[in-house]
Amino acid sequence: MRGARGQQLRTDLPYRSCVGVMLLNKAGRVFIGRRRSEPNPNDPASAYAWQMPQGGIDPGEEPYQAALRELYEETSIRSVTPLAEAPEWYSYDLPSVVAGRAWRGRYRGQTQRWFAFRFEGSEDEINVQQPGGGRHKSEFDEWRWEAMERLPELIIPFKRPVYENVVAAFSDLAEMARQD
């Protein structure tokens, strides 16, 4: 459908297929990275710079494999054990102010399949400055372990319902990660 000026309506655009990773350490806390960007006090998004690893699914790639690839490309982490897969895809729409710029305006937002893994390695393995052995662009400039229940308040508001769903889907995993 086209708007009054012949432009395609955002609601007619597809969602970009994506994966997200909740990585839990042995204390039951979740890995979050601070998105690399220029600090801009006038940008409300800069207050919500923390997120879990996520990224697009390549053509022909299965979501599980995409999750492992994205985790490595953003953090250098390979030492993981799978814990769970979210029961459904979670989607969000981009705000109008971002929609025309992101992905060259081809998508209205993202639909994400989420996976939970337990981190089995040493923290020396984590490298957000030169992820993937330096072969990938750094998406994060800092990282930390955070309590799962705090995640929705740290994410940019338009993604908050997705994070609330992810936390609900994986809420029992923090305790399970601590038990082993």
pLDDT digits (tens, 9 = 90+) for 132-176: 777 778 889 999 999 999 999 999 999 999 999 999 999 999 877
CA-nearest of 70, 50, 75, 56 to 152 is: 50
Domain ranges of the chain: 10-26+49-173
For the residues 113-127, what does the mean pLDDT come to?
Answer: 97
Within 13 Å and on the Cβ side, how many CA atoms surround 30? 27
- Grouping H, G, I as helix, E, B as strand and the rest as coil, residue 16 is strand
Kindly give the residue spans of alpha helices, DSSP state H, lying in the chain: 63-75, 96-99, 151-154, 160-170, 173-179
Calculate the alpha carbon distances from 46 to 43, 50, 133, 144, 178 in Å. Answer: 6, 9, 28, 17, 32
pLDDT of residue 103: 65
Render pLDDT for 26-52 as a digit per residue (tens, 0 to 9).
999 999 999 887 556 566 666 678 999
- Rounded-to-integer distance, Cα 121 and Cα 110, Å: 30
Homologous superfamily assigned to 10-26+49-173: Nucleoside Triphosphate Pyrophosphohydrolase (3.90.79.10)
Tell me the residue type at 161: P
Cα diameter, the chain: 59
